[in-house]
């Protein structure tokens, strides 16, 4: 695979180089920050409405933050896996992003097992005659 860099991938009009895998680390950092801000905002909002519920949400806020971060991590990993499947499949097919259609497969060199001789079929198990 040809690595064009961020801006080379961004302005690649043929979409042969992807920008998504290059920005995933930045997206994860942004999701960490946004999850933290959301959790703090949630605690402050609930405290404004009811102090008892605010204490409850304050106790649960690390769990809420953890679940938000876990969710964003799983989504981003899924994106990366999809793009890596493409990259690895291109390598396995023996062609990169600049290659044309796949070449014809060479003839198989694996020997085939011998075929049984053609002839009358042998009778199967006989059912008893009434």
More confident residue, 90 or 15: 90
Q: Give the separation between CA 25 and CA 19, rounded to whole angstroms.
A: 12
At 12, the pLDDT band (50, 70, 90 cuts) reads confident
**Structural domain boundaries in the chain:** 43-93
- Helices 51-92/20-49 angle, 10° precision: 170
Report percent pLDDT > 70 for the chain.
Answer: 69
More confident residue, 76 or 9: 76
Within 10 angstroms of residue 64's Cβ, the number of other Cβ atoms is 15
pTM over 0.85: no
Q: Which residue has the tokens 């014809």?
A: 104
Query: Residues 109, 110, 111, 112: is their CA dihedral positive or negative?
Result: negative
């Amino acid at each position: 695979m040809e690595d064009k860099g961020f801006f080379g991938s961004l302005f690649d009009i043929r979409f042969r180089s992807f920008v998504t895998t290059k920005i995933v680390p930045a997206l994860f950092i942004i999701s960490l920050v946004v999850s933290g801000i959301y959790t703090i905002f949630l605690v402050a909002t609930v405290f404004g409405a009811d102090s008892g519920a605010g204490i409850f949400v304050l106790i649960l806020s690390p769990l809420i933050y953890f679940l938000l971060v876990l969710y964003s991590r799983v989504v981003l990993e899924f994106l990366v896996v999809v793009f890596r499947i493409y990259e690895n499949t291109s390598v396995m097919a023996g062609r990169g992003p600049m290659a044309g259609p796949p070449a014809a497969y060479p003839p198989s060199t694996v020997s085939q097992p011998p075929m049984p001789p053609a002839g009358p079929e042998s009778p199967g198990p006989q059912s008893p005659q009434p």
